[in-house]
Chain A
Amino acid sequence: MATQDAVRHGVRALGAEPELGRQRGLWTDAWRRLIRNRLAITAIVVLALVVLVAFVGAYVGPLARYAPNDQNYDAIQSGPSTQHWFGTDQLGRDLFARVLEGLRISLQIGIGAAAVVLILGVSVGAAAAMGGKWSDNLLMRFADIMISLPEILAIILLRSVLVGHDWPIVTNKKMIIILAIGGVAWITVARLVRGQMLSLAERDFVLAARALGASRWRIVYTHMLPNTLGPVIVAITFAIPGAIFAEAALGFLGLGLPPPAASLGTLVSSGYTVIQRNVWNVVFPASAIAALMLCFTFLGDGLRDALDPRSR
Chain B
Amino acid sequence: MHVRNRWFLLCAGLMSAVLVTAAACGGGTSSKDKTATAGAGGGGKTATTGTADMAPADQQKVVLQLGEPEFYDPHRSNFEQDIGVERMLFRGLWNLTDDGNGGVKVVDAMAAGDPQISGNVYTIKIKSGLKWSDGKPITAGDFVYGIQRECDADVASPYQYVLGAGIGELKGCDELFNNKDAAQKEALTAALGVAAPDDQTLVVTLNKPVATFKTVWSLWATFPSRKDVITQFGDKWTDPANIVVNGPFTVSELVAKDHVTLKPNPNWSGQKPALQEIRIKFIDDLSAAFKQFQTNELDETEILATDTTVARADSALKNNVLIVPSARITTIEVQMDDPILGANGLDAAAKEKAFKLRLALARAIDRKALVKVVYDDVHAPATYWVVKGLKGFQGNEAFDKAIGYDPVAAKQALKDAGYENGAGLPSFKVTYRDNQQRRNEFDFLSKAWKDTLGINVTSEFVDSKTRSATFNSEKFQLFQGGWQLDYPDIENPLVGLFNTGGGNNHYNCSDPDIDAAFKEAASATTDDARIKAYQKVETGVVTKLCGTIPMFQDAKPYLLSTKLGGVVPNGTVDAGQPGNYCPECWYVKKS
Contact = CB atoms under 8 A, between A and B. Distances in A.
Interface in A241-290: 254, 258-260, 269-270, 272-277, 279, 283, 287, 290
Contacts of B291: 276
B447 A294 contact: no
A48 to B, nearest CB: 15
A208 interface: no
B487 interface: no
B373 A76 contact: yes
B192 to A, nearest CB: 42
Contact of B459 (A90, A259, A274, A277): A259
Contacts of A275: 287
A225 B291 CA distance: 54
A172 to B, nearest CB: 13
B376 to A, nearest CB: 9
Given A160-B463, A164-B475, A270-B436, A287 B3 contact: no
Interface in B20-59: 22
Interface string B159-198: 0000000000000000000000000000000000000000
Interface string A59-90: 00000000001010100100000000000001
Contact of B435 (A38, A254, A276): A254
Contact of A269 (B22, B436, B446): B436
A76 B307 CA distance: 14
B284 interface: no
Contact of A279 (B11, B22, B442): B22
A163 interface: yes
A25 B446 CA distance: 58
Given A254-B434, A258-B459, A269-B436, A73 B446 contact: no
B447 A71 contact: yes
B440 A90 contact: yes
Contacts of A279: 18-19, 22
A262 to B, nearest CB: 10
B306 A69 contact: no
Interface in A150-174: 156, 160, 163-164
Nearest to A286: B15
A269 B4 CA distance: 29
A227 interface: no
Secondary structure call for the A interface: loop
B462 A259 contact: no
Nearest to B25: A276
A135 interface: no
A91 interface: yes
B444 A91 contact: yes
A21 to B, nearest CB: 30
Contacts of B443: 69, 71, 91, 259-260
Contacts of A163: 460, 462, 466
Contacts of A287: 11, 15
B372 to A, nearest CB: 8
A269 B437 CA distance: 12
B322 interface: no
Interface in B443-468: 443-444, 446-447, 459-463, 466
A73 B373 contact: yes
B13 to A, nearest CB: 13
A274 B306 contact: yes
A256 B460 CA distance: 12
A290 B15 CA distance: 12
Contacts of A269: 436
Nearest to A39: B3
B309 interface: yes
Given A42-B4, A276-B310, A279-B19, A160 B439 contact: no
A276 B303 CA distance: 13
Q: Which of A163, A164, A259, A274 has the most CB of B within 10 A?
A: A259
Contacts of A160: 462-463, 466
B439 A39 contact: no
B304 interface: yes
Nearest to B19: A279
Nearest to A89: B440
A140 B298 CA distance: 50
A130 B159 CA distance: 63
B413 interface: no
Nearest to A276: B310
Contacts of B459: 258-259
A273 B19 contact: no
Contacts of B373: 73, 76, 90-92
A259 B466 contact: no
Contacts of B442: 259
29 contacts: A38-B3, A42-B4, A69-B447, A71-B447, A73-B373, A76-B373, A90-B306, A91-B374, A160-B462, A160-B466, A163-B466, A164-B460, A164-B470, A254-B463, A258-B460, A258-B461, A259-B461, A270-B436, A270-B439, A275-B287, A276-B290, A276-B291, A276-B307, A283-B15, A283-B18, A283-B19, A287-B11, A290-B11, A294-B7
> Ordered nearest first, which 6 A-B pairs have the shortest CB separation?
A254-B434, A259-B439, A277-B310, A258-B461, A273-B436, A276-B310
Given A258-B459, A276-B22, A279-B19, 20 more contacts: A38-B1, A39-B3, A42-B4, A73-B373, A76-B373, A90-B373, A91-B373, A91-B374, A156-B463, A160-B466, A258-B461, A259-B439, A259-B443, A259-B461, A260-B443, A272-B287, A276-B291, A276-B307, A276-B310, A277-B309
